[in-house]
Structure 1
Amino acid sequence: MFANRIPSRRTVLTAVALAAAACLPALAQAQAYPNKPVTLIVPYPAGGANDAVGRLIGQKLAETLGQPVVIDNRPGAGTTIGAALAARAPADGYTILLGSLASNAVSPHLIANPGYDALKDFAPIGLIGVAPIVATVNKESPYTSLKSLVDEAKKHPGDVMYGSAGNGSPLHLAGELFSQAAGVNVTHVPYKGGNAHTMDLIGGRLAVIFDTTTAAMPMIKGDKIRAIAVSSPTRLPDLPNVPTFAEAGYPGFEVQAWYALYAPAKTPADVLARLSADLGKVMAMPEVDSKLKSLAVKPAYGSAQELGAFTQTEFAKYGKVIKTANIKAD
């Protein structure tokens, strides 16, 4: 008779509760972040130095997260296409952005409707590194120093021309900031992206370009152009004979490109903490340090809190420059 007894309602409920409790650890493990591939949006074309930074970080994050990190190149509109896509993605940690000076501090001031708020629509994960600005001239140029360049600009206002990848590009803003620091009138010549400005520098049609080390270093090492100053606090190991802007008499010239990781705003705090911690692990890898340096990027890991403060400072700094100089996007 015992075998045929019908269990009481209380017995059934107890059994169900015990079974559910037994399943909770497995369920939690199945839902733990991350349990599927993560997409890293890189708002630059494939194949360039910016893309190389994103692919390096993505590859190493995949190792620490235990899930593939898929690189999604979304270039265009001064990086705002990719940044806007990341801002609108679900805030679950499965879509993150390789942010930069352009996407998170410059372009939002230049484009009327970029599709995102650079400060409100992103949660900082961590800073990756910085790329100092380097003043470069034609290798046969008579300008062997910043002083000689400034002397010429003061002697013939407007005659000294500098090139950039376009209105509002980091190169343009670097040139504008330098002209303000030096108190000179130099003429900006914008190009439609690519490397046409560098080709004109090589050809002697431009006097100077204020470029990032990431872009300029291959040309410098290839003896195509000559560096006359770098914006880093100290001289660069790869350019030991090139003085800093501070050494050349312009300590207030503090301009550098940079790279960082962001997630959509409202991403859960525990997910952000995991991503930030794993980025810290990636940045501690010797191979990452050496690879970034080979790309002329100075590794400079910063926590989520530090990146948040840094982003606000850079956003305000370049917003002021753009407004003061009345710079408009192409």
Structure 2
Amino acid sequence: MNPSSRPLTRRAVALGLAALGCALSAPAALAQGGFPAKPITFVVPYPAGGANDMLGRLIGQKMGEALGATVIIDNKPGAGAMLGANAVAKAAPDGHTVLVGGLATHAASPHLMKADYDPLKDFEAVGLLGQAPIIVITSNESPLRSLKDIAEIAKKKPGEMMYGSSGNGSPLHLAGELFDAINGSQMTHVPYKGGNAHIIDLIGGRVPVIFDTATNSMPLIRSGKVRPLAVSMPQRLPDLPNVPTFAESGFPSFQFTAWYGLFVPAKTPKDVVAKLSGALQTALKQPEVVEKLRGVGVSPAGGEAAELARLVPQEHERIGRLIKQANIKAD
């Protein structure tokens, strides 16, 4: 044997052991610091320009800053927000595809149409963004002055009180049906095919009332185009101190909000979910974010995954029961 081969063999063994050590430690390194490994895509299941899109872009930007990652917004509207939700449910469970979901994707639409995903099993909850209450609005010239006025007419004259919405199964429609169920009345639902046609008809006096979401109604109220009658929150909104709550108006059991949350595909590693949730909580504590959310009528939540995980099955069951009882069908 060539004497010079002995040092070479030892050196080779040392290098081999070093390489093996690096290989064994790689999974641990990836688990601790490998996420995010590429840009994160936020799927917004609505068209660009609306409240959901704004929430996705705002939160996505702030979470990206907290994670040191680039966030890309991908608008995937369609099928009652289920098109975008299904895309996330089928995505790789690595935390790089996030759904900006909520009431439609996880509680309402799956009961109205056939869903290609299971809202309770195909996602991991990242955290609750916030909730937008229902605000009952009417035209400035309307004789309706309170929620009790609506309740009395709806009860005494079945079918005469009309309320508009952006479509069958929308939060506006569901809120109206819930109010009917609690009031023991029968209003006439007037669905519109999206857009702002229902608002135009409300302002013009052709539809007397709308159970609208705060995200849509707050700009109208601030501009003086409509008159608010009641808000579905435990306390009065700071921006609407003179508008009573449903409880103050005699309907304490009316509980309904449009809620928003972040989801990732099921089987996403827990440490990745925890990183995303932590970034969301950081974003929701920023004064700029709080101000912008409240500016569009959204009351910020804490961003904890457990809070959203508890809410989803409750809302899925409650909204499903309401849809069945009211015999609501998709457009």
> Are 1:192 and 2:193 counterparts?
yes
Q: In the TM superposition, what is the alpha-carbon distance from 1:181 to its structure 2 partner?
A: 1.1
Please give the alpha-carbon distance, in whole angstroms, between the structure 2 residues aligned to 1:131 and 1:3: 80
Report what 1:13 is aligned to: 13
1:20 Cα deviation after fit: 4.2
**1:307 CA drift (Å):** 0.9
1:127 match: secondary structure:
strand
Alpha-carbon distance in 2 for matches of 1:198, 1:108:
26
1:164-220 per-residue CA deviation (whole Å, 9 max, x = no partner) reads: 111111110000000111111100011111111111101111111001000111111
CA gap 1:24/1:199 in 2 versus in 1, 3 angstroms? same
Give the partner amino acid of 2:161.
Answer: V
User: 1:152 Cα deviation (Å)?
Assistant: 1.7
TM-score when normalising by structure 2:
0.95
What is the alpha-carbon distance in structure 2 between the residues aligned to residue 3 and residue 97 of structure 1?
Answer: 64
Residue of structure 2 in register with 1:107 after alignment: 109
AA in 1 matched with 2:94: D
2:160 aligns with 159
1:76 matched to which residue of 2? Answer: 78
Distance in 2, Cα, partners of 1:24 & 1:290: 47
Unaligned runs of 5+ in 2: none
1:230 counterpart = 2:217: no
Q: Distance in 1 between matches of 2:18 and 2:216?
A: 62
- State percent identity of aligned pairs: 55
Distance 1:227 1:197 in 2: 16
CA deviations 1:5-39 (Å, max 9, x no partner) are: 34576653332112443577788369711121000
**Once the two structures are superposed, what CA deviation does each residue of 1:203-251 show, in whole Å capped at 9, x if it has no partner?**
1111110010001111111111110000011000111110000000000
Mapping 1:1-330, distance limit 5 Å:
4-7=4-7, 12-21=12-21, 28=29, 32-112=34-114, 114-330=115-331
Identify the range of structure 1 (147-156 vs 317-326) with the bigger mean alpha-carbon deviation: 147-156
Q: What secondary structure, in the 3-state scheme, does the structure 2 residue paired with 1:275 have?
A: helix
RMSD, aligned α-carbons: 1.9
SS of the counterpart of 1:91? coil
> Which amino acid is 1:185 matched to?
Q
- SS of equivalent residue, structure 1 residue 167: coil
Instruction: Name structure 1 gaps, 5 residues minimum.
Output: none
Q: Distance in 1 between matches of 2:76 and 2:15?
A: 52
Letter in 2 for 1:94: H
Check the 8 A contact 2:130/2:301 in 1, yes or no: yes
Superposition TM-score, scaled by structure 1 size: 0.95
- Distance in 1 (CA, whole Å) between partners of 2:30 and 2:314 is 39
How many residue pairs match? The answer is 329
Q: Separation in 1 of the partners of 2:305 and 2:26? A: 31
Paired letter, 2:16: V
In the alignment, the residues of structure 1 paired with residue 69 and residue 49 of structure 2 have an alpha-carbon distance, to the nearest angstrom, of 23
Aligned residue for 2:60, secondary structure, equals helix
Pair 87,26 (structure 1): closer, same or farther in 2 beyond 3 Å: closer
